[in-house]
Every structure is written in C-alpha cells, then in structure tokens.
Amino acid sequence: MARMLSLSALFAVGATAALTGSAAAQSGEVNIYTTREPGLIQPLLDEFSKETNIKANAIFVKEGLVERVRAEGANSPADLLLVVDIGNATDLVAAGVTQPITSKLVEETVPANLRGTENQWTALTTRARVIYASKDRVAEKAMTYEELADPKWKGKLCIRSGKHPYNTALIAAFIAKHGEAKTEEWLKGVKANLARKAGGGDRDVARDVLAGICDVGVANSYYVGLMRSGKGGDEQVKWGEAIKVILPTFSDNAGSHVNVSAAAIAKNAPNKENAVKLLDFMLGHEAQDLYAKANFEYPVAADAPVDPIIASFGKLKADSVPLDEISKHRKAAADLVDKVGFDN
C-alpha cells in the first residue's frame, strides 16, 4: 500500500510524463487509475502479476479522475479505470475517455443491466441499498422502497444526505420506475418520516437504531460486513448486531436497487490487451471471491461465493433496470432533493 501511495505522490507532482507516449506501452505492464482505496485491490493485483508476469501499476486518484484523463489526452498512461459508483462510470463515458470493452468473458459473466451501453464500462461487484431495521422494535421481514414514505414510520426513519451519490442513485431509480411527480411525493413522505436531519454516514444509521433514535434506515449492504466483522472497531460491532437487514424491492417486485464498483478501458490505453487481461482476471472465480470479500460486496460472477455475513441477508435479486438508464435521472434526482428541502 505504501508503494502505491508513493506512486500516487509521484504522479501528483507531474511525473506522469515518465509513463507517457511509447514509454507507457510496455508489453509486460498495465496502468490502473483507481478511485478505490488501494489497499482493497492490491492483493488482487499482486496475484494477477504473479500469474501473468504483467506488472500492475496502480495510481490512486482520489478526486478529478475524469479531468485528469481528459487533460492527459492521447499521452495518458492509463489503461484501466476503476471507480466506485455508477455515476462515476457514466461520467467517464460522457467525457469521452473510455472505449468499448471487447471481452467474451465480460459479456458472459456480467448481466447486461450491469454493463454500459456498447460495453463502455462493466460492473465488478455490486452493493445493495438496503433497510437497516431494529431487531427489537420492527416486526417486518420484507419491505418495499415505496413503504419508506408510509406514515407508520413517522419519526422513526434515519438516512444520510439525499445528495449523497448512494441516495441520488436510489432516487434516480425511483424516477426510472415512477416518474418525477410520484418521486417528489415519495421524497416528501420519506422526509416527513425522518427521526433526525438527513446526514451522517450509513454506519450512523445502525448506530442510531441501536440508540433508539430511529427504527429503520436506508444504507448500503457492505457496511454491515464492515461493522459485524470488527473492521470498524468494537463499538461498531454493537451497531451491526443491533440491526436486521431487509433486502427491499420496488413495488413491481423486480428486485433490489444496487450500485457498483466498475471498470472501463481508457480511450487511449497504451496497453489495452493487458487491460482486458486484468479485467478478465478480476471477473474470474478466485478474484471475484477476493475482490468481493475485501469490502463485503456481492460478486457479479454468478458462481462466486458471497461472504457469509452478506449471505445471511438472503439471496439478492438485483433490479433489472439498466444502471445506464438509472444514471440518466441523477440530475433530476438531485434537483428533487433540493426542491423538497430533503436535507434541511
């Protein structure tokens, strides 16, 4: 991890030129720009290099990935772009810095709704937007996203900011299902049910359920693994154990809303062939197991195992609406959050 962070610092001070042009095109290398914390993917990259003798150079780009790749243009050393949200993936495509992925394994492994138009990006793992509910105070075992606006939850609901990308994506999915007018009414109902001001993080929802501030809340599935496993400390174990996880669906019963960690091939990738090899490796059974368990996410490969903590929620059925379609409604979703004063 220290090596990767030093690489990041090196690039940050203008040493990108060392990997530009013909110097970047090394048959035994692949260059990855990642917005995901380096420690989560380094074991996988090490295994890839061990099996293929292809050196994987990972550069952590915390912010401004699109701007960086676009500014580097034809001289960009980037081969594979890794991001942690559907909005990030579609922003790369909109900026014109990706190219179609040509991989039979991608098409056979990743469901079409979890890939971009013309395979401009592909999901690697998914996480569900679920309901955290009090084990002691909530009898329900199943719920819909629509039910979050039911007055029976008045003063009992916790959620982070409506402007956070996780919630913007969920609201955008609601628009894709019901249109903007019905989504606005739903948002008003959810706001009316809030036990506290929308804000904080997803793990704070579990904390506040334990404290009795709220009975239900909306959060990502993988945080439960981070809490219950002890990776967040002893206090968070208590938060994770205080909740039960409900995999909600929309009222059409088409499945739960999911977001993704995703990958795209850079438009000017000097090592495109190696980038595809790495992408195929990341979708293999062993790598999917490692990648998913590193952050308690769901693998996209159907035959890859799910971490036991996450599997305990029940079998996930992902909503079938293409994520590209959902992403088109992100701006409208953010505008509705402002219109109803959701975060006020």
Q: What percent of the chain has pLDDT over 70?
A: 92
Which residues participate in the annotated binding site? 222-223
| Residue 38 confidence (pLDDT) | 74
The conformation of residue 232, written as its DSSP 8-state character, comes to T
Q: Summarize the confidence of residues 128-133 as an average pLDDT.
A: 98
Is residue 325 predicted with pLDDT exceeding 70? yes
Of all residues in the chain, the percent with pLDDT exceeding 90 is 84
Average pLDDT, the chain: 91
Instruction: Answer yes or no: are the C-beta atoms of 222 and 85 closer than 8 Å.
Output: no
Q: What is the pLDDT of residue 41?
A: 85
Q: What is the pLDDT of residue 18?
A: 38
Q: Higher confidence at residue 17 or residue 267?
A: 267
Instruction: Kindly provide the b/e burial profile for residues 299-328, where b requires at least 16 CB atoms within 10 angstroms of the residue's own CB.
Output: bbbeebebbebbeebeebebbebbbbebbe
- Residue 294: per-residue pLDDT: 83
Hey, where are the domains in the chain? 2-126+259-306, 127-256+318-339
Which DSSP symbol is given to 14? Answer: T
SS3 letters for 237-254? Answer: HHHHHCEEEECCECCCCC
Which whole number is the average pLDDT over 126-135?
97
- To 10 degrees, what angle do helices 165-178 and 330-339 make? 100
Phi-psi category of residue 14: left, alpha or beta, with phi > 0 → left and psi -120 to 50 → alpha = left
Cβ atoms 61, 33 nearer than 8 A? yes
CATH no. of 127-256+318-339: 3.40.190.10
pLDDT exceeds 60 at position 29: yes
Q: State residue 2's pLDDT score.
A: 38
- pLDDT for the residue 204: 98
* pLDDT value, residue 292: 80
Q: Which residue has the tokens 């595809």?
A: 276
Q: Do domains 2-126+259-306 and 127-256+318-339 have the same CATH topology?
A: yes
- Stretch 105-121: mean pLDDT, rounded? 95
Locus of tokens 């990767």: 4
Nearest to 325 by CA among 135, 214, 173: 173
Annotated binding site for Fe cation: 222-223
Sign of CA dihedral 306, 308, 310, 311: positive
161: left (phi over 0), alpha (psi -120 to 50) or beta: beta
Q: For residue 27, is pLDDT > 80?
A: no
pLDDT digits (tens, 9 = 90+) for 42-92: 888 999 999 999 999 999 998 999 999 999 999 999 999 999 999 999 999
Angle, CA 78 vertex, CA 72 and CA 79 arms, to 5°:
145
* Token pair belonging to 136: 């002691």
CATH of 2-126+259-306, one of 3.40.50.970, 3.40.190.10, 3.10.150.10, 3.30.70.250: 3.40.190.10
Residue 7 phi, psi dihedral angles, 5° rounding: -60, -40
Query: Per-residue pLDDT tens for 155-191?
Result: 999 999 999 999 999 999 999 999 999 999 999 999 9
Q: What is the mean pLDDT of residues 249-262?
A: 94
Q: What per-residue confidence (pLDDT) applies to 1?
A: 40
Q: Say how far apart CA 75 and CA 83 lie, in whole Å.
A: 21
pLDDT at 36: 83
